[in-house]
Amino acid sequence: MNKLELYDTTLRDGTQQQGISLSVEDKIAITIKLDDLGVDFIEGGYAGANPKDDEYFKKIFEIKLKNAKIAAFGNTRKANTHVAKDQSIIALLKSKAKILTLVGKSSAFQVEKILETTLEENLSMIEDSIKFLTQNNREVFFDAEHFFDGYKENPEYSIQSLKVAINAGAKRIILCDTNGGTLPDEIGKIVSKVKSSISDTILGIHTHNDTDTAVASSLAAVESGASHIQACVNGYGERTGNANMISIIGNLSLKMGYETIQKSKISSLTEVSNFVSERVNRRPFPFQPFVGSSAFTHKGGLHASATQKIQNAYQHIDPKIVGNLSGMVVSELSGKSNILKRVSDLNLNELIDVKDANKIVNLIKQNEAKGFTYEGTEASLDLILYKHTPNYEPAFTLIDFMVIVENKRRSSFGSGWRNDRNEHPMLSEATVKIQVDQDIRHTVAEGNGPIDALDKALRKGLINFYPSIEKIRLTDYKVRVVNEENGTGAIVRVLIESADDRKVWQTVGASSNIIEASWMALSDSIEWWLINNDINRKLV
């Protein structure tokens, strides 16, 4: 079967999601990662829309990419404007991109009610823009905006807009479900009809996720003849997002037998997903299909026992294929089968036997009675297993810590300074004394709060031994009251989520002292990462 084309628009359409903003450096880093994955086209941004996108286009062509071609996005000329003088067209040429993706209206309703021009003028806008860019040695892709809504209202005009674009020189025709309201079955039927009308042109699909069917709609379009798929990593995009590029690759490659990226690169899907999450400063979604940290996690004795006998008993694929891991949710309801499954996943079979597993189950039940939970905090569970191996040595040992929180009387603003709410700013300072082998470090750090100060002081003490811990970032911090009836003396459970550019992991701590509970989760997070990354200690 012929190879399908993957066109990633994370850097343009993806950044239109509320709360996402990328620097030029972020966009370049994501470009390099997507190129290594094997994406065919990367839409770098909206030409002329802002200085950041313009700078991206200046810098990206200084980098030699292995696979991907860079595309710039822009509009057809404005109504009743000469194409050579149109600012959008000029900006596209200035981008220096050889591939230009041009968006134009393919809906009669949109033309008359939104553009407020005639149907004939819109067709001229499409034709003039594509011809002019083609004459300037550019390859043009035509994004037919609002195509599916337009086709349902006036199919003749929508098809006519496509044919005008093809005759003007467009190399790809992309059908856009701009409002995201067309369901997969209807997408498939319409794509089939369009394919029969323009059979000699490469047809593409661009779907939005407003009905939670963007991936399914893209797959339906491929089955009906589309061979060019536009999508965003992790489904980022305007409103509820775009089709998820990760899921599209997973389904097309592993389920439907299509060729997308090289088979050797499919195992990097989880890494790419987490890398982009980090760059957009979004917490990775743990339940995301294929690549989420909980995508192959099993809870309950039946599932755990069956999965241990046959790995795929309750899994649709081997998670290693996409670079993910299988997991077992362990709780006070768990039996030794859950523990032994995790022991096997960690390759600790020769170090932990059935007798040890029974001891570990009892320990977990005791800990959960104290407020801990190991459901969704596998990193803390892993550490329990590591500590039951005969060759375990801690990466570091806590000697002591102290945390101070006070009104900031010592601030540079002088004693008595108050903020706009007539409050003294608060000072949070942590002192940590740890031991690595025979070396003792005593460090102090200030932070935005007591936990931030504690985290910084710990990292400060470890950085010379383990320089790579700079890769670790805290992505989520939650506090839960376990026994509310005890009021301010209640036990609190602290859940911390951490990430690097490859993985996401969760740890837990519990205590009637929130600082102590936070320390447990923080120290577990760093030690788990050190063990799993086989860090060589650098003693100085």
Nearest to 399 by CA among 455, 458, 466, 470: 458
Q: Is residue 72 domain-resident?
A: yes
Range 493-500 average pLDDT: 89
| Dihedral of the alpha carbons of 537, 283, 67, 191, in degrees to the nearest 10 | 160
- Cβ proximity of 443 and 459 under 8 Å: no
Q: What is the DSSP letter of 76?
A: P
Measured CA to CA, the distance from residue 15 to residue 33 in angstroms comes to 17
Q: Is residue 194 domain-resident?
A: yes
Nearest to 12 by CA among 41, 33, 38, 40: 41
Q: Bridge partners of 8? A: 42, 231
Q: Is residue 278 domain-resident?
A: no
Most confident of 163-177, 380-394, 401-415: 163-177
- Cβ proximity of 500 and 528 under 8 Å: no
- Over pLDDT 70: what percentage of the chain? 88
In three-state secondary structure terms, 371 is coil
Range 147-176 average pLDDT: 97
Structure tokens at 455: 């985290």
| Residues 98-129: tens digit of each pLDDT | 999 999 999 999 999 999 999 999 999 999 99
Residue 24's pLDDT is 92
Structure tokens at 483: 């026994």
Most confident of 140-149, 294-303, 370-379: 140-149
Residue 304's pLDDT is 54
Measured CA to CA, the distance from residue 116 to residue 112 in angstroms comes to 5
Least confident of 171-180, 262-271, 376-385: 376-385
Range 216-239 average pLDDT: 97
DSSP assignment of 128-182, as one string? HHHHHHHHTT-EEEEEEETHHHHHHH-HHHHHHHHHHHHHHT-SEEEEEETTS--
- Tell me the pLDDT band of 369, cut-offs 50, 70 and 90: confident
Q: Bridge partners of 498? A: 474, 505
- Over pLDDT 90: what percentage of the chain? 63
pLDDT at 297 over 90: no
Residue 341's pLDDT is 76
Backbone φ and ψ of 48, nearest 5°: 80, 0
Residue 189's pLDDT is 97
Nearest to 495 by CA among 475, 470, 466, 512: 475
Q: Give CA angle at 470 (533, 319), nearest 5°.
A: 40
Range 68-72 average pLDDT: 97
Domain boundary among 218, 242, 261: 261
CA distances to 18, 125, 220, 253 from 117, rounded to whole Å, are: 31, 11, 33, 43
Contacts of 332 (CB under 8 A, 6+ apart): 364, 365, 368, 369
pLDDT at 142 over 60: yes
Burial of 74 (0-12, 13-18, 19+ CB in 10 A): buried
pTM for the full model?
Answer: 0.71
- Cβ proximity of 119 and 105 under 8 Å: no
Look at the chain and report how many structural domains it folds into: 2
| Residues 320-362: tens digit of each pLDDT | 899 887 665 555 555 666 777 788 878 888 888 878 888 888 8
Residue 305's pLDDT is 56
Q: Is residue 317 domain-resident?
A: no
Q: Give CA angle at 397 (456, 429), nearest 5°.
A: 30
- Tell me the pLDDT band of 132, cut-offs 50, 70 and 90: very high
Task: Quote the distance between the C-alpha of residue 193 and its chain's center.
Answer: 35
pLDDT at 263 over 90: yes
Task: Share the mean pLDDT of the chain.
Answer: 88
Q: Is residue 63 domain-resident?
A: yes
Q: Is residue 50 domain-resident?
A: yes
Range 387-392 average pLDDT: 89
Polymer length in residues for the chain = 540
Range of the domain at 38: 5-261
Nearest to 86 by CA among 97, 72, 75: 75
Q: Is residue 164 domain-resident?
A: yes
Measured CA to CA, the distance from residue 234 to residue 237 in angstroms comes to 9
Q: Is residue 203 domain-resident?
A: yes
pLDDT at 69 over 90: yes
- Cβ proximity of 357 and 343 under 8 Å: yes
Domain boundary among 242, 261, 280: 261
DSSP assignment of 37-48, as one string? HT-SEEEEEETT
Contacts of 120 (CB under 8 A, 6+ apart): none
Q: Which CATH number does the domain housing residue 426 bear? A: 3.30.160
Q: Which CATH number does the domain housing residue 200 bear? A: 3.20.20.70
Q: Kindly state whether residues 102 and 249 are assigned to the same domain.
A: yes
| Residues 406-444: tens digit of each pLDDT | 875 555 444 444 555 555 567 889 999 999 988 999 999
Domain boundary among 237, 261, 285: 261
Query: What are the start-end ranges of the E strands in 147-197?
Result: 172-177
